[in-house]
Amino acid sequence: MAASRPLYVTRPALPPLDELRPLLEDIWQSRILSNDGPYHEQLEQALAQYLGVEYVSLVANATLGLIMAQRQGNLAGEVLTTPFSFVGTTHAIQLAGLTPVFVDIDPVSLNLDPARIEAAMTPHTQAIMPVHIFGRACDTTAINTLAQRHKLRVIYDAAHAFGVNDSGGSLLRHGDLSVVSFHATKVFNTFEGGVIISANAETKAEIDLLRNFGIVDELTVASIGMNAKMNEFCAALGVVQLRHIDRLIARRGEADLRYRQMLNDVKGVRCLSVPTGQSLNYYNFPILVEPDAPFTRDELYERLRAEGVYARRYFYPLISDLPMYRDLPSAKPANLPVAQAVAKQILCLPLFPDLLADEQQRIVELIAG
Ligand code: T4K
């Protein structure tokens, strides 16, 4: 077999450097490097149009976005969330001064199970932070109903959900706020970055203050804000990236379909079902290693690794099993049986726009053994 490149779980897409160069020359010329510069403005407007949402605030990364989304509501108390996510989700709750309460996930969507949310509520519950994991939509209707009934805020961790639509439009329109990540590993990347989608103009105005120290003008500071601004370099990159995003998502979709076809007859592993009523951005390609497979998930992970295929166990260990969270009452494994099982079965295969069919064939042959 010809020498093969290492296959990481993702490979960031970048535009041709020549396309970016005029924007960089402009920045070099103007010396406007940050604090609501022209490319920042341009990208916010372009994203509002592309995503089909109105109130868009760029941020330096999604973690700061999630923290600010909680500070904006002046929340204090408990936030119901999923243990099956990137650790940043729960860290953001803790860093905002709130207490995470873990709720089990649905075995099909792998998202927060709405049927279990009410049982986890206490008089201290202030908000729900669901995650559209792998860009697969949460049950937004059920979550919205619960939030209205109990007067809770909903902050979606939409880190994976760039450009995903459901039958009513952008998935990002749900809840009080949604936070998307533009990290290098994401479908749409600005090296580091993210965006907060607010439900209304007042919320956006408060978020925009919070991301710049709460500064209104030279003499007025309105809130205890932080520095969560996106700089002009990242914003300019975003402007150029957006020109290519549809093609890149389409190529991810082609690779996703190829995996599904190639893995169809492979014993011991199962692809997640294609969700209905929503589009996908094909952020990841998660598979589940069946309990009766002739190998364990970790054996498969090591087998691939030995051949230069760096699949990742997203998301294992469960956040609720990490040392700083495992003593919370809601973190007990018996409280989270579905998440516990899924975390032991999940494996994300490499998926990125320029992944070749031959490379996928090699990966699938390694899995088939
Ligand atoms: N909520 C959720 C649900 C999230 O998934 C995340 C982030 C957040 C919140 C927070 O969003 P941000 O604050 O980051 O905007 C990565 C990312 O650092 C993290 O952003 C992401 N989720 C998470 C799922 O993945 P690691 O520690 O797994 O990344 P790392 O460095 O191991 O990279 C994975 C692979 O990607 C590497 O093996 C190679 C490739 N890679 C990575 C980078 C950074 C590249 O080829 N080039 C690169 O520049 O966390």
User: 9 in a domain, yes or no?
Assistant: no
Contact 368/266 with Cβ under 8 angstroms?
A: yes
Q: pTM of this prediction?
A: 0.98
Verify that 231 and 282 share a domain, yes or no: no
Provide the pLDDT for residue 369.
87
Verify that 275 and 163 share a domain, yes or no: no
| Helices then strands, each counted (H, E), the chain | 11, 16
User: 2 in a domain, yes or no?
Assistant: no
| Of 187, 209, 240, the domain-final residue | 240
Q: In this predicted model, what pLDDT tens digit does every residue of 278-326 receive, in sequence order?
A: 999 999 999 999 999 999 999 999 999 999 999 999 999 999 999 999 9
Helix/strand/coil percentages in the chain, nearest 5: 40, 20, 40
| Of 211, 240, 269, the domain-final residue | 240
Cα(146)–Cα(131) distance, rounded to whole angstroms? 16
What 8-state DSSP symbol labels residue 188? Answer: S
Provide the pLDDT for residue 293.
96
State which ligand 1 atom lies nearest to the alpha carbon of 133. Answer: 3
* Ligand 1 contacts CB of residue 88 (under 6 A): yes
Provide the pLDDT for residue 160.
98
- pLDDT band at residue 3, thresholds of 50, 70 and 90? low
Provide the pLDDT for residue 219.
98
In the chain, pLDDT over 90 holds for what percent of residues? Answer: 98
In the chain, pLDDT over 70 holds for what percent of residues? Answer: 99
Instruction: Report how far ligand 1's centroid is from the alpha carbon of 112 (Å).
Output: 21
For ligand 1, mutation pick of 5, 8, 86 (most atoms within 8 Å of CB) = 86
- Which CATH number characterizes residue 54's domain? 3.40.640.10
Name the domain count of the chain. Answer: 2
Phi, psi for residue 104 in degrees, rounded to 5: -70, 165
* Ligand 1 contacts CB of residue 183 (under 6 A): yes
pLDDT surpasses 90 at 1: no
State which ligand 1 atom lies nearest to the alpha carbon of 63. Answer: 13
Instruction: Report how far ligand 1's centroid is from the alpha carbon of 191 (Å).
Output: 10
pLDDT surpasses 80 at 2: no
Verify that 218 and 100 share a domain, yes or no: yes
Provide the pLDDT for residue 73.
86
State which ligand 1 atom lies nearest to the alpha carbon of 191. Answer: 49
Verify that 37 and 152 share a domain, yes or no: yes
Range of the domain at 200: 17-104+111-240
Q: In this predicted model, what pLDDT tens digit does every residue of 48-62 receive, in sequence order?
A: 999 999 999 999 999
Q: In this predicted model, what pLDDT tens digit does every residue of 330-342 receive, in sequence order?
A: 999 999 999 999 9
* Ligand 1 contacts CB of residue 61 (under 6 A): yes
Cα(32)–Cα(260) distance, rounded to whole angstroms? 47
User: 11 in a domain, yes or no?
Assistant: no
Verify that 167 and 189 share a domain, yes or no: yes
Provide the pLDDT for residue 121.
98
* Ligand 1 contacts CB of residue 328 (under 6 A): no
How many CB atoms within 10 Å of residue 10? Answer: 24
CA distances from 24 to 2, 28, 275 (A): 39, 6, 40
pLDDT surpasses 90 at 14: yes
* Ligand 1 contacts CB of residue 178 (under 6 A): no
Region 182-187: what's the mean pLDDT?
A: 98
Instruction: Report how far ligand 1's centroid is from the alpha carbon of 184 (Å).
Output: 7
| Of 209, 240, 271, the domain-final residue | 240
Region 340-367: what's the mean pLDDT?
A: 98
Region 338-362: what's the mean pLDDT?
A: 98
Verify that 222 and 304 share a domain, yes or no: no
pLDDT surpasses 90 at 170: yes
Question: Dihedral sign, CA of 266, 267, 272, 277?
Answer: positive
Instruction: Report how far ligand 1's centroid is from the alpha carbon of 262 (Å).
Output: 27
Cα(145)–Cα(316) distance, rounded to whole angstroms? 30
pLDDT surpasses 60 at 117: yes
Phi, psi for residue 25 in degrees, rounded to 5: -60, -40
